[in-house]
């Protein structure tokens, strides 16, 4: 099973890359949330991703959104893939509604230093580590560079939210927490605390972000808690945390996990999913071997197929990159050639000579894109662009220099054809051929089938012409 660590596509503008999730703008204007397999521990993202973690979190959020839709509407449109959720874009309320039923974490640390009032809520003296509160409390924070504890009164006076909305959010948060706690208790899990985010959609309050996932909540095993409340640990991440602590070197935690630790962490996430929902994660490996190529083992291939099926992306892209806006017409000529092939095409402008630094940002998307792609570079005279792109990207680069006559072409061509080492740029002179070469370079079964048909059609045309002409 491979993992999904970084989502990129020239087809979907990136809205936000969080520690775990990548959010993108869908063509419909909706928001596509990709829940990756990244794991963050001690406030930094580890180099090793955890197989199935993204699917577990996404699946759990979906499970909870469904279970609570009668309490408050939420942003979910559709679970497009095990790792992807299409949601409605809301106007987010910049407040985190944290509900706590036990004293732990940062609050416990504050309490031990003598703090008794948290976000306006006063808790009794004499609480011991991990003790349950008489009833769940809501301790809001602002959502800014570093979140800040704040009282409901100040949230209103500082303009974060109106009093009416805050009151609604507080009531809904308590109701959601009650449903979550009850259902989890049946599974032997304690919902220790969690965080909700709300937004406005057409003036209506809805629930956004994620819900009751291990990344937004703390889960304890009720059995462990009963044995000793003070030593109970978070069910999901604690295993990795303990390993990191045990393997600290020179005061630094390891950046990567061993394959065994990643596998065990994965097993624990899958276990939590199954325990909560009562069913095994659909995309998880089962005892029966999957047929190779079924997509289950290849999270990226499966995600792409599902995004294509949902109409969110095409299965391949071509970026036509010009060195100067003056070459737009030539680029449009190339672009037209892709009509009918159902490939995503896009024009970009960057000059290797004048703003070569922009290539790095573009290359990050091209090099990590989920779907296959090809770049066509359009630069005349001295073509530095084709080489600069070819040296920096892991997809084919085809130069198609513009020219007004053959004299100019003859002068331009050397700079496209003669390249230093490490710059595997290809050159095609005619715009139609450049597009056809790009379609072949994409090398995907659907296009190969289509190109075979094109080839047969050309042969048939020539044969028909031959038959017509020879009788004349
Ligand atoms: N439906 C929605 N409409 C608008 N914004 C949303 C919606 N759902 C979630 N968001 C916002 O998208 C952002 C998601 O960020 P994400 O959780 O991926 O990273 P982060 O909060 O910046 O950092 P961290 O990884 O530490 O959580 C949040 O600011 C959240 O409020
Ligand atoms: Mg977040």
Domain CATH code at residue 198: 3.30.470.20
User: Could you tell me if 176 and 301 lie in one domain?
Assistant: no
Mutate which of 6, 7, 22, 23 for ligand 1 pocket (most atoms within 8 A of beta carbon) = 23
- Whether residue 67 lies inside any domain: the answer is yes
User: Could you tell me if 96 and 85 lie in one domain?
Assistant: no
Ligand 1, atom 30, lies closest to the CA of 209
If you average pLDDT over residues 163-182, what whole number do you get?
98
Whole-angstrom distance, CA of residue 182 vs CA of residue 190: 9
Q: Name the pLDDT band for 241 (thresholds 50, 70, 90).
A: very high
- Whether residue 6 lies inside any domain: the answer is no
Ligand 1, atom nearest to 90 Cα: 3
Q: Name the pLDDT band for 422 (thresholds 50, 70, 90).
A: very high
- Whether residue 467 lies inside any domain: the answer is no
Residue 172 Cβ < 6 Å to ligand 1: no
User: Could you tell me if 155 and 65 lie in one domain?
Assistant: no
- Whether residue 348 lies inside any domain: the answer is yes
User: Could you tell me if 188 and 285 lie in one domain?
Assistant: no
User: Could you tell me if 299 and 327 lie in one domain?
Assistant: no
User: Could you tell me if 121 and 55 lie in one domain?
Assistant: no
Residue 76 Cβ < 6 Å to ligand 1: no
Residue 210 Cβ < 6 Å to ligand 1: no
Nearest to 42 by CA among 290, 354, 251, 328: 251
Residue 197 Cβ < 6 Å to ligand 1: yes
Number of alpha helices (DSSP H) and beta strands (DSSP E) in the chain:
15, 22
Q: Name the pLDDT band for 287 (thresholds 50, 70, 90).
A: very low
Structural domain total, the chain: 3
- Whether residue 410 lies inside any domain: the answer is yes
- Which own/partner contact pairs does 293-297 have at CB distance under 8 Å and 24+ positions apart? 296/1, 297/1, 297/2
If you average pLDDT over residues 238-260, what whole number do you get?
95
User: Could you tell me if 301 and 375 lie in one domain?
Assistant: no
Q: What is the whole-number distance in angstroms between the Cα of residue 209 and the centre of ligand 1?
A: 6
- Ligand in nearest proximity to the CA of 23: 1
Residue 73 Cβ < 6 Å to ligand 1: no
Residue 140 Cβ < 6 Å to ligand 1: no
Residue 195 Cβ < 6 Å to ligand 1: no
Ligand 1, atom nearest to 21 Cα: 18
User: Could you tell me if 154 and 72 lie in one domain?
Assistant: no
Residue 20 Cβ < 6 Å to ligand 1: yes
User: Could you tell me if 79 and 103 lie in one domain?
Assistant: no
Ligand 1, atom 8, lies closest to the CA of 209
> What angle (nearest 5°) sits at the alpha carbon of residue 215, between those of residues 240 and 263?
35
Structural domain range at position 69: 14-89+236-307
- Is pLDDT larger for residue 334 or for residue 146? 334
User: Could you tell me if 334 and 394 lie in one domain?
Assistant: yes
- Whether residue 187 lies inside any domain: the answer is yes
User: Could you tell me if 384 and 450 lie in one domain?
Assistant: yes
What CATH number should be reported for the domain holding residue 390?
Answer: 3.40.50.1970
3-state secondary structure of 469: helix
Give just the sign of the alpha carbon dihedral 189, 191, 196, 201.
Answer: positive
- Whether residue 123 lies inside any domain: the answer is yes
Lowest model confidence (mean pLDDT) among 44-53, 69-78, 96-105, 275-284: 275-284
The last residue of one of the domains, among 275, 307, 339, is: 307
The last residue of one of the domains, among 273, 307, 341, is: 307
Ligand 1, atom nearest to 17 Cα: 18
Ligand 1, atom nearest to 20 Cα: 25
pLDDT at 289 over 50: no
User: Could you tell me if 21 and 59 lie in one domain?
Assistant: yes
Whole-angstrom distance, CA of residue 121 vs CA of residue 111: 12
The last residue of one of the domains, among 231, 259, 290, is: 231
Q: Name the pLDDT band for 363 (thresholds 50, 70, 90).
A: very high
Could you write out the DSSP letters of every residue in 182-202? Answer: HHHHHTTEEEEEEEEEEEEET
Nearest to 371 by CA among 84, 13, 16, 8: 8
């Amino acid at each position: 099973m491979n993992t999904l660590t970084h989502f990129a596509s020239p087809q979907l503008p990136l809205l936000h890359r969080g520690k775990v999730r990548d959010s993108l703008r869908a063509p419909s204007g909706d928001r596509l949330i990709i829940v990756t397999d990244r794991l963050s521990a001690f406030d930094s993202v580890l180099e090793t991703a955890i197989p199935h973690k993204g699917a577990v979190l996404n699946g759990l959020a979906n499970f909870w959104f469904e279970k609570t839709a009668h309490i408050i509407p939420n942003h979910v449109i559709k679970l497009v893939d095990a790792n992807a959720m299409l949601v409605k874009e809301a106007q987010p309320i910049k407040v985190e509604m944290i509900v706590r039923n036990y004293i732990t974490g940062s609050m416990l640390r504050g309490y031990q230093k003598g703090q008794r009032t948290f976000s306006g809520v006063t808790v009794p003296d004499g609480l011991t580590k991990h003790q349950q509160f008489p009833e769940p409390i809501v301790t809001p924070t602002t959502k800014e560079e570093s979140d800040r504890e704040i009282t409901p009164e100040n949230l209103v006076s500082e303009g974060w939210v109106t009093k009416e909305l805050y009151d609604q959010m507080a009531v809904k948060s308590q109701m959601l927490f009650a449903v979550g706690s009850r259902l989890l208790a049946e599974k032997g899990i304690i919902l220790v605390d969690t965080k909700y985010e709300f937004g406005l959609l057409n003036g209506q309050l809805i629930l956004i972000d994620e819900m009751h996932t291990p990344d937004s909540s703390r889960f304890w095993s009720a059995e462990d808690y009963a044995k000793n409340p003070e030593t109970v640990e978070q069910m999901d991440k604690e295993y990795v945390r303990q390993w990191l602590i045990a393997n600290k070197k020179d005061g630094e935690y390891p950046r990567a996990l061993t394959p065994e630790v990643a596998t065990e962490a994965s097993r624990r996430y899958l276990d939590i999913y199954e325990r909560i929902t009562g069913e095994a994660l659909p995309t998880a490996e089962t005892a029966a071997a999957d047929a190779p190529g079924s997509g289950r083992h290849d999270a990226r291939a499966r995600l792409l197929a599902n995004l294509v099926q949902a109409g969110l992306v095409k299965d391949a892209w071509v970026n036509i990159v010009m060195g100067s806006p003056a070459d737009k017409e030539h680029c449009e000529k190339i672009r037209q050639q892709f009509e009918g092939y159902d490939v995503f095409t896009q024009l970009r402008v960057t000059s290797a000579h004048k703003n070569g630094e922009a290539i790095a940002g573009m290359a990050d998307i091209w090099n990590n894109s989920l779907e296959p792609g090809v770049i066509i570079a359009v630069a005349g005279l001295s073509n530095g662009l084709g080489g600069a792109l070819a040296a920096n990207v892991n997809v084919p680069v085809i130069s198609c220099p513009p020219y007004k006559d053959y004299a100019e072409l003859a002068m331009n061509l050397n700079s496209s054809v003669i390249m230093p080492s490490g710059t595997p740029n290809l050159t095609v002179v005619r715009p139609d051929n450049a597009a056809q070469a790009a379609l072949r370079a994409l090398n995907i079964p659907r296009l190969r089938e289509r190109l075979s048909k094109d080839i047969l059609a050309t042969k048939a045309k020539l044969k028909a012409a031959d038959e017509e002409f020879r009788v004349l």
